[in-house]
Amino acid sequence: MMTMAMPDELLARSQFPVFTLYAQKVCLSANAPLCDSLWSFESVPDLALSHFIEEEATRITASRSECVEECMLETSFPCRSITYYNTTKECVMSKVNRNMVGRRPLLDMSIGAVYAEVACVPKLHEMCEFTKLRNKILKTVDAVYKDLETIEECKERCMKASFTCYSFDFMSAGEKICRLSHHSSSTLAHIQEPYLLLDNSTTYERHACYQVSVECRATEMLAHIVTSSIFDGKIYSRDRPQLLQGGRELQHRDPASTFTSNIVIQHHKMIVTSADVGLVLHCHYDIKNQTVTNSLLSGLEVRSDVNRTEFYEETVVDSPNVVMRVTNGTGFDVTTAQVGDNLALRFEITDLGSPYQIFVRHLMATDGQDNSEIMLIDGDGCPTDPTIMQEVVQLNGNGKVLLAPFQAFKFPSSVVVHFRALVMPCLPHCEPVQCHAPGFDGFSRSSDSFGKRKRREVQEADVLVVQSVHITDKFEFPAEQRQENVSVEAQGSCSSFTGVVVAGALFLAAQLVMLMAWSYLWHKKRATKQIDPTPPTPSLYHMGSSASRASSTSYLTD
């Protein structure tokens, strides 16, 4: 068993800034399943399951270890976590753990209860997606490997570790050093400052793994997709995002005996985020056998041409001129980005001498086709989903410039994302609103967002600001690459043919000019000579004709 203790309980101040995991030997019965993990379960005190509870599996056990063992022996569902209440001896089970639910609520504070996650559970290791956490590394890890040459070797060590490895870093803690950990952002929410801030470092965190099998039937292709995390999004054809989860429209023929389907697994219900992936599925038919292959593609790219746009308003009292721009982490306007890049909406008063400050509410993102929309900042000025957009903050305490950080996203069926927000001025200062977001670890977190204004005597009008971002999807499916190559080759062939035609026309024109010049000179010379009026004999005429062709040919070649 491994327990995560709070620092003040077991550590002296001189041992900071690490956090400590301590192990305790426990004895399980012979019936408990065996696995390669270095520990049987991990427990966290004073937390209890509040969601995803299997009510029918709740029972009474004598101890926490017995509760964990009951979870391991459960056959009606794959039990992954438990809560044991010491006072009531109640054992509550769940089929999910913290890494599976992501940002969804799972736990609540419960003094005296113990939350535990079982280590011996089925693992998915196929087609795993890793996200980057830049400029920070874990203070405490489970395994360290030296003298590795590439990041791929480090990633392979993570995938093949005896424990379930959820994060790793390479060459961030030292030359050719690979560090592995079973922790992720989801399991460290209750630890204060678990990361060490370090420039030019990167922690790679496993987001989800996918196990894909394809069944090639006589008239259809059936894909079975198993994910390592809870999925409540949608699956659709990349070319037909309106047709969800099935249908003959998901397949197209390429070539005679091969069927291909390019599908997107979208985790959010409305928008494409960095967590989404594309799958290329193929079914090839022949007389003797059938071959099924699948591959994972990632790298959605968002391209946007953002221009500085000014807006105006009609008010009784003059309100400030406000612009909204899309910027990167350093404050510069962006024209190209990838889904998942850290961006920000920047709201700024253009009048340097304006007495106003501003705050933002009713921030909406809409597409440019079927009017799909998502609310990012609500009417109170709080973010609706902090995983997509964070709270609105002042830049360096300046109430005239606000930032709303977010990760680049797109809509599946549109090439344009429109941002629309109400910007409200206030005098003399804007006061932040307290936003409360329940965490999946049971803690309710509050943050300030500039969505509440101070009482004032003058009634100012809202300023509506709008910004459009052009988006180009960059799922590089093989079919698209082939079409691009064919297009390039065809264009090259057309260019070559056009060049030959132009060169031939110029050559013929030059020949015509030379013939006209020769004819003019020949007739002029003939007019100045004394010509015998007696017609030539046939033999002489024949020779003269031959001499004329020879001269003409000689002239043209010279």
How would DSSP label each residue in 359-393? Answer: EEEEEEEEESSS--EEEEE-TTS-BS-TTTB---E
- Give CA–CA dist 302/339, Å, rounded: 6
Residue-number span of the structural domain to which 114 is assigned = 2-118
Q: Is position 498 within any domain?
A: no
- Give CA–CA dist 433/431, Å, rounded: 7
Is there a single domain that holds both residue 180 and residue 55? Answer: no
Is there a single domain that holds both residue 99 and residue 193? Answer: no
Is there a single domain that holds both residue 454 and residue 358? Answer: yes
Which among 32, 224, 196 has a CA at the least distance from the CA of 118?
32
pLDDT band at 14 (very low <50, low <70, confident <90, very high): very low
Answer positive or negative: Cα dihedral of 466, 472, 474, 477: positive
- SS3 string, 125-179, reads CCCEEEEEEEEEEECCCCEEECCCCCHHHHHHHHHCCCCCCCEEEECCCCCCCEE
pLDDT band at 305 (very low <50, low <70, confident <90, very high): very low
Is there a single domain that holds both residue 104 and residue 162? Answer: no
Contact present, 478 and 84 (Cβ < 8 Å):
no
499 vs 400, higher pLDDT: 400
**Per-range mean pLDDT, top range of 156-165, 278-287, 299-308, 441-450:** 156-165
Average pLDDT over residues 92-114: 89
Average pLDDT over residues 255-273: 78
Average pLDDT over residues 309-334: 66
Which among 441, 125, 436, 412 has a CA at the least distance from the CA of 241?
412
Answer positive or negative: Cα dihedral of 38, 39, 44, 47: positive
Q: Is position 553 within any domain?
A: no
Contact present, 107 and 441 (Cβ < 8 Å):
yes
- Give CA–CA dist 357/424, Å, rounded: 8
Say yes or no to pLDDT of 155 above 90: yes
Query: Which pair of tokens denotes residue 75?
Result: 């056959």
**Per-range mean pLDDT, top range of 83-92, 214-223, 475-484:** 83-92
Stretch among 78-82, 282-286, 294-298, 310-314 having the lowest mean pLDDT: 310-314
- Give CA–CA dist 534/352, Å, rounded: 104
Answer positive or negative: Cα dihedral of 134, 139, 141, 144: positive
Average pLDDT over residues 264-270: 85
Helices (H) and strands (E) in the chain, counts: 6, 30
DSSP state of 537: P
Last residue of a domain, one of 470, 486, 514: 470
pLDDT score, position 15: 44
372 contacts: CB under 8 Å, gap ≥ 6: 270, 366, 411, 413, 414
pLDDT band at 2 (very low <50, low <70, confident <90, very high): low
Q: Is position 69 within any domain?
A: yes
Is there a single domain that holds both residue 81 and residue 188? Answer: no
Say yes or no to pLDDT of 60 above 90: yes
Average pLDDT over residues 364-370: 79
pLDDT above 70: percentage of residues in the chain? 68
Query: Which pair of tokens denotes residue 52?
Result: 């995803």
Average pLDDT over residues 172-193: 88
Q: From the centroid of its chain, how far is CA 35?
A: 34
Say yes or no to pLDDT of 182 above 70: yes
Is there a single domain that holds both residue 113 and residue 140? Answer: no
pLDDT band at 170 (very low <50, low <70, confident <90, very high): very high
Q: CATH number, domain at 89?
A: 3.50.4.10
- Give CA–CA dist 538/501, Å, rounded: 43
Is there a single domain that holds both residue 335 and residue 444? Answer: yes
247 vs 100, higher pLDDT: 100
268 vs 26, higher pLDDT: 268
Is there a single domain that holds both residue 150 and residue 105? Answer: no
Q: Is position 524 within any domain?
A: no
Average pLDDT over residues 208-235: 84
Kindly provide the residue ranges of all beta strands, DSSP E only, lying in 165-276, ordered along the sequence: 167-170, 178-181, 195-216, 221-227, 234-237, 252-253, 258-266
DSSP string, 10-32: H--GGGTT---EEE------TTS
Is there a single domain that holds both residue 106 and residue 172? Answer: no
Query: Which pair of tokens denotes residue 34?
Result: 């065996």
- Give CA–CA dist 198/134, Å, rounded: 9
pLDDT score, position 409: 86
Q: From the centroid of its chain, how far is CA 473?
A: 11
- Give CA–CA dist 360/421, Å, rounded: 7
- SS3 string, 31-59, reads CCCCCCCCCCEEEEEEEEECCCCCHHHCE
Average pLDDT over residues 333-361: 83
Q: Is position 285 within any domain?
A: no
Stretch among 428-432, 490-494, 539-543 having the lowest mean pLDDT: 539-543
Say yes or no to pLDDT of 292 above 80: no
Contact present, 154 and 170 (Cβ < 8 Å):
yes
22 vs 282, higher pLDDT: 282
Is there a single domain that holds both residue 463 and residue 386? Answer: yes
Per the document, the length of the chain is: 558
- Give CA–CA dist 93/73, Å, rounded: 12
Cα-based angle 455, 458, 463 (whole degrees, multiple of 5): 90
Last residue of a domain, one of 208, 240, 256: 208
Say yes or no to pLDDT of 76 above 80: yes
Query: Which pair of tokens denotes residue 302?
Result: 């968002």
Amino acid, res. 20: T
Is there a single domain that holds both residue 101 and residue 157? Answer: no
- Give CA–CA dist 519/511, Å, rounded: 12
pLDDT score, position 11: 43
**Tokens 């090639």, residue?**
216
DSSP string, 399-457: EEEEEEEEE--B-TT-SEEEEEEEEEEESS-EEEEEEEEE-TTSPEEEEEEEEEE---S
Say yes or no to pLDDT of 108 above 70: yes
pLDDT score, position 156: 92
**Per-range mean pLDDT, top range of 173-177, 477-481, 501-505:** 173-177
Q: CATH number, domain at 351?
A: 2.60.40.4100
**Per-range mean pLDDT, top range of 24-38, 176-190, 507-521:** 176-190
Which among 444, 446, 468, 426 has a CA at the least distance from the CA of 383?
446
Say yes or no to pLDDT of 324 above 80: yes
What backbone phi and psi angles, to 5 degrees, belong to 512?
-65, -45
Is there a single domain that holds both residue 31 and residue 82? Answer: yes
Q: Is position 63 within any domain?
A: yes
Q: Is position 141 within any domain?
A: yes
Say yes or no to pLDDT of 483 above 70: no
**Tokens 């017609």, residue?**
535
Average pLDDT over residues 393-420: 84
407 contacts: CB under 8 Å, gap ≥ 6: 273, 274, 339, 340, 341, 342, 343, 388
Say yes or no to pLDDT of 202 above 90: yes
pLDDT band at 113 (very low <50, low <70, confident <90, very high): very high
Q: What is the dihedral of CA 120, 121, 126, 130, to 10 degrees?
A: -80
Contact present, 320 and 350 (Cβ < 8 Å):
yes
Q: Is position 544 within any domain?
A: no
345 vs 259, higher pLDDT: 345
Last residue of a domain, one of 145, 173, 208: 208
Average pLDDT over residues 400-419: 84
Helix (H, G, I), strand (E, B) or coil at 347: strand
**Strand-pair partners of 252:** 260
State how many domains the chain has: 3
**Strand-pair partners of 420:** 364, 466
